[in-house]
Amino acid sequence: MLPEMPELLDHQLLFVTGKGGVGKTTVAAAAAIRAAGEGRRVILAETGAQRMPGLFGVPVPPRGEEVQVADGLWTLAIDTPLALEEFVAAQLRSRALVQVLTRSNMFRAFVEAAPGARELVAITKVWELVQKRRWVRRRPAYDLVVVDAPASGHGLGLLRTPRTFADIARVGPLHSQAARVREWLEDSRRTAYLAVALPSEMPVTETLELEGRLRRTIGRNLTAIVVNGLLPRRFSPAEIERVEAELDGAPAAAAARTQAARSRLQHNQLARLRRGAQAPVSTLPFVAREALSLDDVRELARRL
Ligand X SMILES: Nc1ncnc2c1ncn2[C@@H]1O[C@H](COP(=O)(O)OP(=O)(O)OP(=O)(O)O)[C@@H](O)[C@H]1O
Please say which residue, 14 or 89, places its beta carbon nearer to Mg ion: 14
Task: Kindly state the smallest distance separating residue 205's Cβ from ligand X, in Å.
Answer: 17
Choose among Mg ion, ligand X, none what residue 287 binds, the Cβ cut-off being 5 to 8 Å by kind.
Answer: ligand X
Q: What angle do CA 279, 50, 133 make, to 5 degrees?
A: 75
Q: Minimum CB separation from ligand X for residue 190, in Å?
A: 24
Among 277, 120, 140, 134, residue whose Cα is nearest residue 214: 277
The number of residues that bind Mg ion (CB under 5 A) is 2
Contact present, 196 and 226 (Cβ < 8 Å): yes
Q: Which of 8, 13, 22, 208 binds ligand X (CB under 6 A)?
A: 22
Kindly identify the residues of this chain, within the stretch 151-170, that bind ligand X according to CB under 6 A.
151
- Of 37 and 48, the one with the shorter C-beta distance to ligand X is 48
Tell me, what amino acid is at 180? R
> Taking contact as CB under 5 A, which single stretch among the options 7-15, 25-33, 137-145, 227-235 is the one that binds Mg ion?
25-33
Least Cβ distance, residue 27 to ligand X (angstroms): 7
**Which listed option, Mg ion, ligand X, none, makes contact with residue 21 (CB within 5 to 8 Å by class)?**
ligand X
Q: Which is nearer to ligand X, 26 or 161 (CB)?
A: 26
Q: Are 212 and 193 in contact (CB under 8 A)?
A: no
Q: Are 150 and 158 in contact (CB under 8 A)?
A: yes
Nearest to 207 by CA among 154, 157, 276: 276
- What does the angle CA 97 – CA 102 – CA 107 come to, to the nearest 5 degrees? 115
Terminal CA-CA length for the chain? 7
DSSP E strands, 33-122: 42-46, 67-70, 73-77
User: Is residue 135 within 8 Å of residue 90, measured between CB atoms?
Assistant: yes
Contact 230, 300 (CB under 8 A): no
267 Cβ contact partners less than 8 Å away, ≥ 6 residues apart: 199, 230, 233
The answer to whether residues 282 and 275 touch, using CB atoms and an 8 Å cutoff, is no
Among 5, 9, 17, 25, binds ligand X (CB under 6 A): 25
SS3 145: strand
Site string (26-65) toward ligand X, x via CB under 6 A:
x---------------------x-----------------
- Residue 137 in 3-state DSSP? coil
Q: How many CA atoms lie within 13 A of 170 on its CB side?
A: 0
CB 304 within 8 A of CB 34: yes
Q: Which is nearer to Mg ion, 86 or 119 (CB)?
A: 119
Assess 263 for contact with Mg ion (CB under 5 A). no
Instruction: Pick what 81 binds: ligand X, Mg ion, none; C-beta below 5 to 8 Å, kind-dependent.
Output: none
25 near Mg ion, judged by CB under 5 A: yes
Q: Which does 229 bind (CB under 5 to 8 A by kind): Mg ion, ligand X, none?
A: ligand X
For ligand X, which is the closer residue by CB, 240 or 287? 287
Site for ligand X contains 199 (CB under 6 A)? no
In the region spanning residues 256 to 295, those forming contacts with ligand X, defined by CB under 6 A, are 284, 286-287, 291-292
Q: Binder to ligand X among 4, 6, 7, 20 (CB under 6 A)?
A: 20
Minimum distance of Mg ion from residue 27's CB (angstroms) = 9
203 binds, among ligand X, Mg ion, none (CB under 5 to 8 A by kind): none
- Positions touching ligand X (CB under 6 A) are 20-26, 48, 151, 228-229, 284, 286-287, 291-292
